[in-house]
A and B are shown apart, each in its own frame.
Chain A
Amino acid sequence: MNESLSQIFIGTLLTNNFVLAMFLGLCPFLGVSSRLGTAVPMGVATTFVMLVASVCAYALNLLLNYFQLEFLRLISYIVVIASSVQLVEMVMKKYSPALFRALGIFLPLITTNCAVLAVALFQTAREYSLSQSLVFALGGGAGFTLALVLMASLRERLQLSNVPTLVQGTALSLILAGLLSLTFMGFAGLGAGE
């Protein structure tokens, strides 16, 4: 794969946005996006975990390839991600207890955020180099944060408007996400050129 770094970044941020085009990380996307104040830190925390996971996955993959243990890839990736989430959790608890409480159950759930595992899996499948992997993780995380922030802003506005009781809740969020996703399709082709 000979994609340039900027291509990868734009591609994962807009064209192939993790949440809106590839359906990754939807649980936190629907769960934490009710307030802007929690959406941003959640996005940043996820991005950080993605970066850590990306570096670890790259190193692990070299090791596994060397020993020809490719079938252990999935298991080792998930263990690495779980431990880096633990790390983020401890750091956050120490330095920002208020934020720690606000994110609540969704912090440990970053482990089961498909977007994080997907970063590790896709970078392996596409045979990215270390720098490409890092940019990929950064773009993915930024894209995730962007989607989360957009969604949270929309939902904050919605709380002020009069919505029929039938549509309230997840159904409405999904249709909103659909509209956002439709908008993001307008970016198709961006960053793919020479």
Chain B
Amino acid sequence: MSLPNQADEGITFDTFMEGVWRQNPVFVMVLGMCPTLAVTVSAVNGLSMGVATLFVLVSSCLLVSLIRHLVPKEVRIATYIVIIATFVTLVDYLIQAASLALYEALGAFIQLIVVNCIILGRAEAHASKNPPLKAVVNALGMGVGFAIGLFALGATREILGAGKLFGITLFGDNFQPWVVMVLPPGGFFVLGGWLLLFALLRSRKEGKVQA
């Protein structure tokens, strides 16, 4: 989780894009795996989990950044955790109020956003060292990157495992759903597959640079 300290730079497009692409939390850093794999059985679940995490990430990074000069170094982690837990409780009740079906589908994993390493990692590595606006932009990028990752996983698993996307049947009657993909092992396989794809892309790119 030790990322370079970028306190001296201004806000650039890269502050945002860092999380979306170069340091994508799902595909590059492989952080926050628990919610990533557990809820991504469908594209909708993946996306809503991504958005919920995005909200918690942005609001806690804003608050952490605002109070960064007030918190003594010794108790900072505990403070961050309490801040994050507060926002997660908020999200938990919001989702419960907005859609009970979604709340039941995501289950305890909404509350488990608290222990998502991405949020604590961002608060510690970036928000605690940067002014509010920059911290928010960076958190927004990370959150969007995370949501994209979850959506990609959820969509892949839904298409392969149920032959559907957003509940709409994609293939004809002849399609035999690949049930293992929506079961726990499928989560590992699909993420492993995506990581392989990214490793392949990277090795191609490096090969080109050398040639």
Q: With A75-B89, A79-B81 known to touch, is A166 a contact of B195 (CB < 8 Å)?
A: no
**Residues 108-143 of A contacting B (Cβ, < 8 Å):** 108-109, 111-114, 116-118, 121-122, 125
Closest to B2 in A: A105
Contact between A125 and B184, CB atoms less than 8 A apart: no
Complex Cα distance, B58 from A96, in Å, reads 40
A182, B185: Cβ atoms closer than 8 Å: yes
Q: Which of the residues A27, A71, A82 comes within 8 Å of B81, measured between beta carbons?
A: A82
CA distance A30 to B32 in the complex (A): 12
Interface residue count on the A side (C-beta < 8 Å): 42
Residue on A nearest B187 in the bound complex, by CB: A23
Q: Do residues A121 and B111 form an inter-chain contact, with CB atoms below 8 A?
A: yes
Residues B34 and A24 in contact, CB atoms below 8 Å apart: yes
The stretch from A54-62, A152-160, A170-178 touching chain B is A170-178
B71 within 8 Å of A (CB atoms): no
Q: A20-B184, A30-B33 given. 10 additional CB < 8 A pairs?
A: A23-B187, A25-B34, A109-B117, A117-B115, A118-B108, A167-B196, A169-B195, A170-B195, A171-B192, A181-B184
Q: Is the CB of B112 within 8 A of A175?
A: no
Complex CA gap A111/B80 in Å reads: 12
Count residues of B near A (Cβ-Cβ below 8 Å).
Answer: 40
Q: A114–B34 contact, CB under 8 A?
A: yes
In this assembly, does B88 line the interface, its C-beta being within 8 Å of a C-beta of chain A?
A: yes
* Among B34, B114, B184, contact of A74 (Cβ-Cβ < 8 Å): B114
**A174 to B93, alpha carbons, bound, how many Å?**
33
* CB–CB A23/B81 < 8 A: no
Q: A114–B115 contact, CB under 8 A?
A: yes
Q: Is B180 an interface residue (CB 8 A)?
A: yes
Q: Which of B30, B88, B114, B184 contacts A185 (CB 8 A)?
A: B184
